[in-house]
Amino acid sequence: MAAKKKQVTLHVPSAPFRPGDKASFAPFENEPGDLPRPDPVKCTAAETTDHAYGLVRVLDSNGKASGPWNPELAPDELREGLEHMVRMRIFDDRMMKMQRTGKLSFYMRSLGEEAVAVAQTMALETQDWIFPSYRQPGAQFVRGRDMVSMINHCIGNEEDNVKGRQMPVHYTYRDGRYISVSSPVGTQFSQAVGVAMASQYKALDECCITWIGDGSSAEGDYHYALNFASVFKPPVILNIVNNQWAISTHANLASGNPTFAARGLAYNVPSMRVDGNDFLALYSVTKWARERAASGEGATHIEVLTYRAGAHSSSDDPSRYRPEDEHQAWPGGDPVDRLVQHLVSIGEWSDEQQKELEERIDGEIMAAYKEAVTYGDLANGPYPSADTIFTEVYEEVPWHLQEQWDEMKKWSSD
Amino acid sequence: MIDLSEMNIVQAVNSALDIMLENDPDVIFFGEDAGYFGGVFRTSDGLQEKHGAHRVFDTPLSEGGIAAITFGMGINGLRPVAEIQFADYIFPAYDQIVNEIAKVRHRSGGEFWCPVTIRTPAGGGIRGGHHHSQSPESQFTHTAGIKVVYTSTPYNSKGLLISAIESNDPVVVFEPKRCYRGPFYGDPHNVPTWKDHPEAEVPEAHYTVPLGEARLAMEGTDCTVISWGAMVHVSEQAIKDSGVSCDLIDLQTLVPWDKEVIVKSIEKTGRCVIVHEAPKTSGFGAEMAASVQERCFYHLEAPIERVTGWDTPFPHTTEWDYMPSPARIADAIKRIIEE
Ligand SMILES: Cc1ncc(C[n+]2csc(CCOP(=O)(O)OP(=O)(O)O)c2C)c(N)n1
Ligand SMILES: [Mg+2]
């Protein structure tokens, strides 16, 4: 047996702050304008080293946009982005309230991360595929999904397009090229590479965007994705949303490297780290990645740096594992507030307009909610028929399932 | 005088882990959110504080990685216990468990072995949809080299977990998450706690429920009902509803299963119903039915019945039409009694 060394304790990282601690984060090191915008077509992975270790920003702390990454969006586009983000936030609040009354079994908000799905989807073309995790439902607003149908899914009523089969927030929206969400975390990340390889094979002008969480990036799928993407160079945009937490587990347990973006460099995939609460920076970096994809240069790896401001889900109580006000200390602030601040500062928005917007959207969501519950909800029914257990398991129902289906009908409460 | 406490399954599992961490410095426990937070089901609540972060810790979110380090620690002198947050998420670990952990003793000519335990909440009834509801036990019973346990009560959850940890073979332990805080009798609106249940009287100290032994949960004369996990309680309700005098066998360990108890019971009753919530095709009920037929053919007075989940994904809103209900089970019992 080898002799014992002095240090006998396993190294187990802890979260920087736990309940009772005062959370404080260092301010972001980079200012807008610090990092160049390389030519997306000619850019090598090595040229993105500073971007992977630094932070791409456009909005400064006063809401002023500057630097080579400024996408110079028209005020209408900015207001459109703001509207989707506000819609996401109020929609989440409404669903969470419904969850508390039993109308949904479960819910997950995107609070504090609304810019991610909205800005990144707006930066794409409508033919591009969206392969989300459960924290990017906002992409559906950009793609025009009707809120009533989103609520129908969440409350598992007769009109749920996935027929009550999946838990809430596991949306499917083929018309918006938004691919079905699956619970096992991370699986979409490597699958997205396959989606993009099919587009590449068929020589179509489309790309696939996907997201994985900081925690989930410890799954094999994250590494499969980067490796296949680096070998085959398909048009895929691989985002890792570092919102600091995976349920109760801090990001420093997901990786020993404090910048997730840097991991992409080792796969020879150009990699960027971007302020995920900065709508403009997110939009711009995604546009850049899309240009690379369209030119046949392949994948881009993006770490979206943000903070999960809410609980992991309706089943979670973060006060057990992090300071309650930790998100207020986050140097990235709040994505909605920051876009409002920017629009106000360029004279294209006002507090009154913001208030009106919120009231209008709240009204829309209430109306959608009232309509959706007329088709039933989890607490009161009616649900999709129990027949939906047996349909679409296979293209056609094999005899043994038919027998079981007939048996089920004898017992079903339908 | 044994000190008894009323415990639910969460507390019973916690107590087993606590005792084993206390008794054996080579025991360590880890999993996703299982350290500081104490697990999403709270089964390791307080254990990190008590035993230290080097013995009870959070892992990266990587079931394949968890199983792999469990293997490595196991062959190098530790006795690790890993939690997989939901049984549905054991599949990224499947290769490590089935091809590596299960086979290392055999493939190395007995030079290496893996005294590891992997425990995981399984089964439906919590509105978990496709991926928080499955019972994948038969995907492990089909693998030589691992023992497979499915608990049902606070008493057996603690005693079986201690046996699993002390075993020098790898053991996968499924815990019925629907029953963590109370037994489940098949009526979703009836949510009892474990209070006053005889199987919730749990010794505070170390004890074992041996691997390979079934539990006779009810005794009768005319039919044998074999079940495991949450379905044990649903079967109990069904037996009462049917009015038929039945033996109810809680299998507890699926591999190796308890031949004596089952053969003896069937020789007495001549009839057998097998109940599990996993799908029917290639479910462990198929193994039970074939084995009963092989061993007890001349004692059987009626065909063996299986009442199981359907051969479909596990649904979300319609889960009560998926899981075997007391009515379906009682019907099967009555049907074979009339044969
Ligand atoms: C394979 C698998 N293991 C475990 C889980 C349980 N689980 C659901 S979400 C989650 C944390 C994910 O954290 P992260 O990837 O950081 O995403 P975030 O929730 O922060 O968006 C865990 C452990 C799961 N869904 N799938
Ligand atoms: Mg996260």
- The answer to whether the beta carbons of residues B135 and B278 sit under 8 Å apart is yes
* Backbone phi, psi, residue B42, to 5°: 75, 15
Asked if B36 and A18 come within 8 Å (Cβ–Cβ), the reply is yes
B72 in contact with A at a CB cutoff of 8 Å? Answer: no
Question: Residue B216, SS3?
Answer: strand
pLDDT digit string, tens, across residues B271-314:
999 999 999 999 999 999 999 999 999 999 999 999 999 999 99
User: Within A123-204, where are the H helices?
Assistant: 138-142, 147-154, 187-201
Residue of A nearest to B127 (CA): A105
Residue whose C-alpha is closest to residue B279's, from A163, A385, A401, A182: A401
pLDDT of residue A69: 98
Residue of A nearest to B130 (CA): A166
Residue of A nearest to B132 (CA): A183
- Section A253-261 average pLDDT: 95
- What ipTM was assigned to the predicted interfaces of this complex? 0.96
* Backbone phi, psi, residue B223, to 5°: -155, 145
Q: Residue A9 — very low, low, confident or very high, per pLDDT cuts 50/70/90?
A: confident
B291: number of CA atoms within 13 Å, CB side?
17
Rounded CA-CA distance A308/A326 in Å is: 10
The CA distances from residue A51 to A38, A235, A241, in Å, are 10, 20, 16
Q: Ligand 1, closest atom to CA A246?
A: 13
Catalytic residue, chosen from B54, B106, B131, B132, is: B132
B198 in contact with A at a CB cutoff of 8 Å? Answer: no
Asked if A12 and B92 come within 8 Å (Cβ–Cβ), the reply is no
Rounded CA-CA distance A324/A19 in Å is: 7
Residue type, B273: V
Question: Residue A209 contacts by C-beta under 8 Å, 6 or more apart in sequence?
Answer: A120, A121, A124, A128, A129, A130, A131, A192, A236, A237, A239, A286
- Section A211-239 average pLDDT: 98
Rounded CA-CA distance B16/B206 in Å is: 7
Cβ(B37) – ligand 1 distance below 6 Å: no
Rounded CA-CA distance A234/A244 in Å is: 29
pLDDT of residue A414: 76
Computed over every residue of chain B, the mean pLDDT equals 98
Structure tokens at A296: 């046949």
Asked if B316 and A185 come within 8 Å (Cβ–Cβ), the reply is no
- Section A159-186 average pLDDT: 97
Which ligand places an atom closest to the C-alpha of A183?
Answer: 1
pLDDT digit string, tens, across residues A82-136:
999 999 999 999 999 999 999 999 999 999 999 999 999 999 999 999 999 999 9
Rounded CA-CA distance B268/A10 in Å is: 55
Rounded CA-CA distance A369/A374 in Å is: 9
CA of A260 to the centre of ligand 1 (A): 17
- The answer to whether the beta carbons of residues B288 and B308 sit under 8 Å apart is no
pLDDT of residue A413: 77
CA angle B123, B226, B42 (to 5 degrees): 30
Going along chain B from its start, the domains and CATH numbers come out as 4-203 (3.40.50.970), 215-337 (3.40.50.920)
pLDDT of residue A8: 66
Among this protein's residues, is B276 annotated catalytic? no
B59 DSSP assignment: -
Domain with CATH 3.40.50.970 in chain A: 46-310+323-383
Computed over every residue of chain A, the mean pLDDT equals 96
Handedness of CA A376, A381, A382, A387 (dihedral sign): positive
Q: Residue A7 — very low, low, confident or very high, per pLDDT cuts 50/70/90?
A: low
- Section A337-357 average pLDDT: 98
Asked if A389 and B35 come within 8 Å (Cβ–Cβ), the reply is no
Q: Residue B247 — very low, low, confident or very high, per pLDDT cuts 50/70/90?
A: very high
Q: Residue A3 — very low, low, confident or very high, per pLDDT cuts 50/70/90?
A: low
Distance of CA A87 to the CA centre of its chain: 15
pLDDT digit string, tens, across residues A290-346:
999 999 999 999 999 999 999 999 999 999 999 999 999 999 999 999 999 999 999
Shortest Cα–Cα distance, A117 to chain B (Å): 23
Q: Ligand 1, closest atom to CA A187?
A: 1
pLDDT of residue B2: 85
pLDDT digit string, tens, across residues B141-179:
999 999 999 999 999 999 999 999 999 999 999 999 999
pLDDT of residue A1: 55
Identify the CATH class of A46-310+323-383.
Answer: alpha beta
- Section A255-277 average pLDDT: 97
- Section A279-284 average pLDDT: 98
Q: Which residue is closest in CA terms to ligand 1's atom 13?
A: A246
pLDDT digit string, tens, across residues A60-85:
999 999 999 999 999 999 999 999 99
pLDDT higher than threshold 90 for residue A232: yes
Asked if A165 and B89 come within 8 Å (Cβ–Cβ), the reply is no
